[in-house]
Structure 1
C-alpha cells in the first residue's frame, strides 16, 4: 500500500507540473520574442531620429552602436548608405518606403524597418534586425530553469509522498501486527490510535470486536470449570444417598426416592444457573425465580447436615421469623449458599453458622465459621485464588452469580471468617 500511495501522489504531482509548466513555457517563449521585437523596434526608431533632412543630399549618418544584430540606413533607391545590413533591401525595407513601420520575421531574423520622412516625403529607411537564434538561446535557458524547478518540485513531492505514505500505512501495519498477535492467541493485544479519524475508527471497531470475542471466549472457558465445580457436590450427594439406601436393609425406598428427586431438582437448578451465567449477557433475575428465604435455608440445612456431620462439624441456621417469608432470588441464592458452605467446609473450621437478617431494603445472609482467613481480601474473589487443594473457582463464581442477580458478596470479617451476601427484595 505504501508504494501505491507514493505512485498516486507522484502521478498527481506530475500531472499538476505538466499542466503548469507547458503553458508557462509557451508564455516564456512568447514573452522573450515580444521583448526582442520591441528592442529591435526601439533601436530602429532611435536610429531614425539621428537621420537629418540633409540625408537625401548625401549627408552622412552617425548610427548608435548595437551589441548584437544589424542596424543600417537605406536611401530611397533602397541602397545601404550606412551601418550594417543586406546590400540590397529586403521585403520589410521595401514596404517601409511606403511610409509605415514594418515588423517582420525574415530568414531567421527579427526585422523592424522605420521610414525617415522630411516634409511628408520619405527620404530613407532605417532597418534594425537581430537573429532569432540568440532569442532561442535565452528561451532554452529559461526552459531549462523551468525544468529544473519542476524536477526540484517533483523531488519535494516524492519526499512528501513517502512521508505521507509512511504516516498513513504505519497505523495500518500496526493494526495488522495486532491482528496477527490476536490470531496467535494474545487476546490482550489492542490497536493503538494514531490521530487519523478514519483509521482510529477502524482501530476502535477492531478493539471492540476483540473485547467482545474475549468476553465470549472467557465465558466459554469458565463454563466447563463452573459446571464441574457446581455439579460435583450435588452429584456426589445424590450418588451417596442412593447407594446408602440400597446398602441399608429396611430403608424406606419411597423416602430415598423423594430425597433423590429433591437432589435432582437442585441439580437442575444448578445447571440452569450455570447456563445463565455462561451467557454473554446474563439476564436479570425474574419474579418467577423468587422464593421465601426460610424455605431456601431449610433445604440447605437438609443438604448439608449429613456431609458436615460426617466431618464431625455442626451447622446452625439463625433467622428472624419475620424474614423467613421474604422472597429472594431462589436459584441464585441457593447456588451462592452452597458455594459458601462448601468453602467453609473445605477451608474453615468449627461450627458453621448461617444467619439471615434484614438491613433496610435488603436482606443480609451471613455464612461464618471459626477459622481465620489469611488471603488478601482484594484477591479473594479472583479466579484461581485458593488456600487449599481446590482450583479457586468457588468464590469467583459466587461473586459472578451475585452480580448477575443484582446482589453483592463480600468478606465482612477475617477472624472468625464471615462472608455476607446482600440480597435485594424481589417483591
Structure 2
C-alpha cells in the first residue's frame, strides 16, 4: 500500500507540475524574446536622434555605442546600408519600416528591429538593430533549466510528503493486519490500536467489537463444557449410588429408590436447562429465571444433600422463618448455586454445614457455612481455574456460581474465612 500511495501521489504531482511547467516554459520563451525585441527597439530609437536631415545629402552619421552583441545600421530609402553594421541590403524589416512603421523579424538566426527615421512628414531612412538569437536562446535555456530544477525540487518534496502520508495511512492498517494475525494465532486479547484517521478508527472499533464478541462467545462455549461436566457429575453420582444401594439390598422398597431417582432426573433436567441458559444468554440482556418460593428450594436441597453429608458423618442444619420461606426467588438459578455451595462445603469444608436464610427487607441473604477454613481470599476464590487451594478442586464451581448469581441480578461473596461462610444476596421485587 505504501508504494501505491507514493505512486499515486507522484503521478498527481507530476501531472500538476507538467500542467504548470509547460505554460511557464512558453511564457519564459515569449518574455525573453519580447524583452530582447524591446531592447533592440530602444537602441534603434536612441540612434534615430543621431540622424538629421543632412543624411539625405550624404553626410556621415555617428551611431551610439553597441550594447553587447547588438549591431546598429543606417539604411537609406533604397534599403542600402549607409553606416554602421548590417547586411548591405536591408531586407524585409527595413522595407516595411520605410513604409512608416516599426518592423520586427527573425531571419537566419538573428533578431531584427527596424525603426524609420523621419524628417518632417517624410521617411528619410531606417535604423536597423539586430542581435544573435542564440544569446536569447541561451537565457531561455537557463530559465528552462531553473524551471526544471524547481519542478524537480517540488517533485522531491512531493515524494517526501507522499512517503510520510503513505506511512501515516498504512501504519494503522498494518497494525490492524498484525492484530488480525495475532487473533488468528489464538490471542483473543489482541486489539487494534487507535490512529489519527477517522475512517481507519471506525474500522478498528468495528474490528475490536467483533473480536470482543467472538471472544465472549468462545469463552461461553469453553465454559459450557466445563460447567455441564461440573454440574452433572454430582447428581449422576447420587442417582447411581442410590440405585446401586437399592439393588444391593433386597429388602429395600424399589418404589422409594425409583422415586428418588425420578427426583434426581428432574433435577438433572433443570440443571441442563440452567447451564444451557447461561451459555446462550447475552450478558447485556439476561433472560429472567422462573420464580419459586425459597423455602421449597431449601427443602429440596436438604433432601439432596442430607444423605451425602451423612455418609461422611457430617450434619446439615437449616434455619429460616416460615414467612420468609414463602418469598419468591429465581428458582433454577438459586437451586444451582445452592448445589455448588453445598458441594464445595462437602468437598473442601469440615464439620456441620449450616444453611441460614435472612430477610434484609429489599433482599434475602442466604448463608452457607461450615466449620472449615477457606484457603483463598475473597478476591481469588471466585477466579475460574483457581480452585479452593486444597489441590482437589477444579476451580469451576464457585466461578460458575458467581456467574449464575450475576446473571440473575444476585450477588455472591465470601463473607467468612474461619469458619468458611458464603452469602448469596437475592433481590426481592416490590410485589414480594
TM-score higher than 0.5: yes
Q: Does residue 354 of structure 2 align to residue 353 of structure 1? A: yes
Aligned to 1:34: 34
Cα drift, residue 38 of structure 1: 0.9
Deviation by residue 1:150-206 (Cα, 9 ceiling, x = unmatched): 111111211221221122112111111111111111111111112111111111111
Q: C-alpha separation between the residues in 2 aligned to 1:104 and 1:25?
A: 22
Aligned to 2:394: 391
Aligned to 1:403: 406
Alignment of 1:241-260 (within 5 A): 241-260=242-261
Q: C-alpha separation between the residues in 1 aligned to 2:6 and 2:53?
A: 73
Q: C-alpha separation between the residues in 2 aligned to 1:185 and 1:286?
A: 34
Alignment of 1:299-314 (within 5 A): 299-314=300-315
Aligned to 1:366: 367
Aligned to 1:102: 103
Contact 1:292 1:327 (8 Å CA) reproduced: yes
Deviation by residue 1:181-234 (Cα, 9 ceiling, x = unmatched): 111111111111121111111111111111111111111111111111110110
Q: C-alpha separation between the residues in 2 aligned to 1:97 and 1:291?
A: 125
Q: C-alpha separation between the residues in 2 aligned to 1:48 and 1:175?
A: 80
Equivalent residue for 1:425, pick from 402, 424, 428: 428
| 3-state SS, counterpart of residue 364 of structure 1 | strand
Q: C-alpha separation between the residues in 1 aligned to 2:101 and 2:396?
A: 113
Aligned to 2:62: 62
Deviation by residue 1:349-402 (Cα, 9 ceiling, x = unmatched): 111110011101111111011122231211111001222211011110000000
Change (3 A) 1:122 1:182: same
Contact 1:292 1:326 (8 Å CA) reproduced: yes
Q: C-alpha separation between the residues in 1 aligned to 2:343 and 2:73?
A: 126
Alignment of 1:114-125 (within 5 A): 114-125=115-126
Aligned to 2:417: 414
| 3-state SS, counterpart of residue 176 of structure 2 | helix
Deviation by residue 1:279-315 (Cα, 9 ceiling, x = unmatched): 151564547x211111111111111111101111111
| 3-state SS, counterpart of residue 173 of structure 2 | helix
Q: C-alpha separation between the residues in 2 aligned to 1:91 and 1:230?
A: 115
Cα drift, residue 122 of structure 1: 2.2
* Structure 1 residue ranges, 4+ long, deviating more than 6 angstroms after superposition: none
Deviation by residue 1:384-424 (Cα, 9 ceiling, x = unmatched): 12222110111100000001111110111222211110112
Aligned to 2:12: 12
Q: C-alpha separation between the residues in 1 aligned to 2:274 and 2:79?
A: 123
Aligned to 1:2: 2
Q: C-alpha separation between the residues in 1 aligned to 2:415 and 2:100?
A: 122
Q: C-alpha separation between the residues in 2 aligned to 1:285 and 1:326?
A: 20
| 3-state SS, counterpart of residue 106 of structure 1 | coil
Q: C-alpha separation between the residues in 2 aligned to 1:405 and 1:352?
A: 25
Gaps of 5+ in 2: none
What is the TM-score of this pair, normalised by structure 1?
0.96
Contact 2:378 2:413 (8 Å CA) reproduced: no
Q: CA RMSD in A?
A: 1.5
Contact 1:115 1:124 (8 Å CA) reproduced: yes
Deviation by residue 1:94-152 (Cα, 9 ceiling, x = unmatched): 23223332222333322221221222222221111122222111111111111111111
Contact 2:176 2:204 (8 Å CA) reproduced: yes
* Alignment: residue pair count: 426
Moved more, 73-82 or 155-164: 73-82
Contact 2:288 2:408 (8 Å CA) reproduced: no
Q: C-alpha separation between the residues in 2 aligned to 1:12 and 1:256?
A: 88
Contact 1:216 1:280 (8 Å CA) reproduced: no
| 3-state SS, counterpart of residue 350 of structure 1 | coil
Q: C-alpha separation between the residues in 2 aligned to 1:284 and 1:141?
A: 80
Change (3 A) 1:358 1:244: same
Contact 1:384 1:393 (8 Å CA) reproduced: yes
Moved more, 56-65 or 305-314: 56-65
| 3-state SS, counterpart of residue 323 of structure 2 | helix
Moved more, 264-273 or 365-374: 365-374
What is the TM-score of this pair, normalised by structure 2?
0.95
